[in-house]
Structures are given as structure tokens and as C-alpha cells.
């Protein structure tokens, strides 16, 4: 017969040690879950079954924590009378002001418009969503929810056609600059979409004037060739007030407004769009913001094309700094996120 060895005896002190380790493990798991719940609470806002209550002036009230002496008295879009009749002096050059570009701007403002559509102006409480171009929109199924907002703001040449299930089909405003203008805007936008130009340099005004007035096209002075033929209605064009670029740089990123020529940093169009929304809207949600982390260098940064974070190296944008700015906005409740961040 094979004799069986007796089971090892666990002394009382050993049981106490095991119990202590088990308790520590339970506490660690609970703490981890609670932190994750807090993270989700701050940086992820699942689509509610019913509309979130919209309080008039709420976004402006919370945004004052970020922007200080903040007011809606600043016009959203530049208008001719401020330059033709009053000739309002600007303290900064583009992109933070219009100093030195007034003559060019006058010609552009003469053939464009500046009004905010009555359909937006008349709303008692404006619900807005800023749709970023990030990869997190891919397979998000947010399209139907995005279409329900009063104002849908999109960026640059991000496509809608073919991606409606994830990004929706409604576009109230599209912010762009010449190099990011879609070659056929009627394909991706609605007939009443406002095309809002963000001017980074004087050459941007040259480009839009040559398009709208059918003058000789400008081919030099751009890092990427903008459209030479651009089928748009001039009355749908707006010129964004550089004020928003200034406060995004100063208040959100802490950037000096006057920088050496070769070291110029500036906010991305996405951060600029959020700043605009906090000025225009009463409730602001965002979707598709955030870049892949350092461990996912080969992951695409856009939902519609394969392009990695490496492409941002020479862009003049500090994406890490912008991520911190957006997280701060999420933490104080200035904006809420429809995708994880």
C-alpha cells in the first residue's frame, strides 16, 4: 500500500496572513473599479435615452472659469462695418488678429456674410456637438445621435458620405483653412452649411478672394495646394473672429500670442471649434477627440484615413498640451464627451 502524506498544517498565523492578503486584494480591486468609474464619469458620456436638460447661459457660466472675463459680446464672425466704417484696430497679426491684413479682409468681407442663421439665433437653448476627426468615431454608431443636436460643428475636410452611421449627416458649420478645404464641399455638406474660414496667414485671404471673385488663383505660400476651383455660395462663407484663436491659445494652452516667426505654435482647428461652441452654445458635447497614446504609434489618428501621430510632428500643434486642456474642460463640466478620451 502507498501511504498518503498528511495535509500540511496551516498555523493560525498563516491563516491571518492569507486573510490580510485577500482583504488587500479586495480593496485594490474596489479602488481600481471606483477610479475607472470616476474616469468614465469625467471623460465619457453615454447617450441618454432622453435629451439632457439644457440651461440657457450654462456653458457661458462654466466657461468663465477657463476664460476669466468672458462674454458673448464678441461677434462670432467678422463683419464689414467693423473694418470699413469703424476700422477697429487689431493688436495682433494673424492668426490672433487682423493687423496688417485689413485691406485684404475688406475685399473678402464685401462678398461674404457674417450673420448667424435665424434658426440658431431663435433657439431658447442651443444644444451643440463638435465632431472631431479622431479614430474613436470609427464603429461608434453615433450618427443618429449626432444628427439630433441643434448645431453640428465639423472640422476641415472630414468626410460624411459613407460614414453616416458613425458620424451623422448633419453639418451646421464646418471650420476650415485653405489647405484643409474639401475640393467639392457640396458632397460632404448640407445646402445651408456655413463654411467658416479660419485664417492663419494673409495668404489665406488672398486664396478666398481669388476663389469668390474669380481672380487669378494663388498657388504659392501654402504647405499643401488648396482647391483652385471651389464650387460654393459666397453667402455661405463666414470668416471666424480671431478672438477665439487668441483665447484658446492664451487661456487654454498658455501660449504667448507674440512668438518668434519660426517657433509659432497654435491651437488645432478642433480646440478652436470647442472654444467657439462654448461662446455660441448653452450645452456643448464633443465626439471623436483625442489621439492614440505612445504605445499605439501605428494607429490611425483619423476615422476616415490611415495617418499616424507622426504626421503632427511639424504641425505647430502640441497635442499633449491640448489633451490636458480638454480634460480640464471635461472635469469642470464645460463640455461632455460622447466618446472615450
What was the pLDDT predicted at 312?
67
The rounded Cα 300 to chain-centroid distance in angstroms is 17
C-alpha cell at 175: 471650420
For the chain, which residues make up each domain, given as ranges?
59-70+117-199+238-337
Distance CA(32)–CA(103), nearest Å, equals 59
Q: What is the DSSP secondary-structure string of 222-271? A: -SSPPPSS----GGGEEEB-THHHHHIIIIIS---SS--GGG-----HHH
Q: Which CATH superfamily is domain 59-70+117-199+238-337 in?
A: Glycosyl transferase family 29 (3.90.1480.20)
Place of cell 500500500: 1
Distance CA(246)–CA(224), nearest Å, equals 24
173 strand-pairing partners:
153, 194
Distance CA(249)–CA(271), nearest Å, equals 9
Distance CA(134)–CA(136), nearest Å, equals 5
176 strand-pairing partners:
197
What was the pLDDT predicted at 314?
66
Q: Which of 222, 318, 331, 223 is nearest to 271 (CA)?
A: 318
What was the pLDDT predicted at 11?
58
C-alpha cell at 156: 476641415
What was the pLDDT predicted at 298?
80
Query: Mean pLDDT for each 10-residue chunk of the chain (341 residues)?
Result: 48 64 57 41 53 86 86 87 74 92 94 95 96 95 97 97 97 97 93 97 96 91 93 96 94 85 80 96 96 75 85 73 94 94 72
Distance CA(197)–CA(8), nearest Å, equals 78
Residues 6+ apart with CB under 8 A from 328: 66
Q: Using an 8 Å Cβ cutoff, are 236 and 114 in contact?
A: no
Fill in the DSSP letter of residue 203.
Answer: H
What was the pLDDT predicted at 38?
41
C-alpha cell at 101: 491684413
Amino acid at each position: 500500500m502507498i501511504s498518503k502524506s498528511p495535509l500540511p498544517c496551516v498555523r493560525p498565523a498563516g491563516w491571518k496572513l492569507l486573510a490580510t492578503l485577500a482583504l488587500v486584494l479586495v480593496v485594490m480591486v474596489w479602488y481600481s473599479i471606483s477610479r475607472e468609474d470616476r474616469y468614465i464619469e469625467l471623460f465619457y458620456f453615454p447617450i441618454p435615452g432622453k435629451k439632457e436638460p439644457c440651461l440657457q447661459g450654462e456653458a457661458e457660466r462654466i466657461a468663465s472659469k477657463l476664460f476669466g472675463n468672458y462674454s458673448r459680446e464678441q461677434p462670432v464672425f467678422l463683419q464689414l462695418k467693423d473694418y470699413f466704417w469703424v476700422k477697429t484696430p487689431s493688436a495682433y497679426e494673424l492668426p490672433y488678429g487682423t493687423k496688417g491684413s485689413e485691406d485684404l479682409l475688406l475685399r473678402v468681407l464685401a462678398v461674404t456674410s457674417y450673420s448667424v442663421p435665424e434658426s440658431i439665433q431663435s433657439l431658447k437653448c442651443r444644444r451643440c456637438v463638435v465632431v472631431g476627426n479622431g479614430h474613436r468615431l470609427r464603429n461608434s454608431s453615433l450618427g443618429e445621435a449626432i444628427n439630433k443636436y441643434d448645431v453640428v460643428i465639423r472640422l476641415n475636410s472630414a468626410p460624411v458620405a459613407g460614414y453616416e452611421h458613425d458620424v451623422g449627416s448633419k453639418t451646421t458649420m464646418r471650420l476650415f483653412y485653405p489647405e484643409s478645404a474639401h475640393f467639392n464641399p457640396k458632397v460632404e455638406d448640407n445646402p445651408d452649411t456655413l463654411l467658416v474660414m479660419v485664417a492663419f496667414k494673409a495668404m489665406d485671404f488672398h486664396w478666398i478672394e481669388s476663389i469668390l471673385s474669380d481672380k487669378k488663383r494663388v498657388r504659392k505660400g501654402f504647405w499643401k495646394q488648396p482647391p483652385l476651383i471651389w464650387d460654393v455660395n459666397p453667402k455661405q462663407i463666414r470668416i471666424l473672429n480671431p478672438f477665439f484663436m487668441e483665447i484658446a491659445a492664451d487661456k487654454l494652452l498658455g501660449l504667448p500670442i507674440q512668438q518668434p516667426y519660426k517657433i509659432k505654435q497654435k491651437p488645432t482647428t478642433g480646440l478652436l471649434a470647442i472654444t467657439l461652441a462654448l461662446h455660441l452654445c448653452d450645452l456643448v458635447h464633443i465626439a471623436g477627440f483625442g489621439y492614440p497614446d505612445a504605445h499605439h504609434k501605428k494607429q490611425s489618428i483619423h476615422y476616415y484615413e490611415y495617418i499616424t501621430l507622426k504626421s503632427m510632428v511639424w504641425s505647430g500643434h502640441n497635442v499633449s498640451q491640448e489633451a490636458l486642456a480638454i480634460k480640464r474642460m471635461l472635469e469642470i463640466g464645460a463640455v461632455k464627451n460622447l466618446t472615450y478620451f
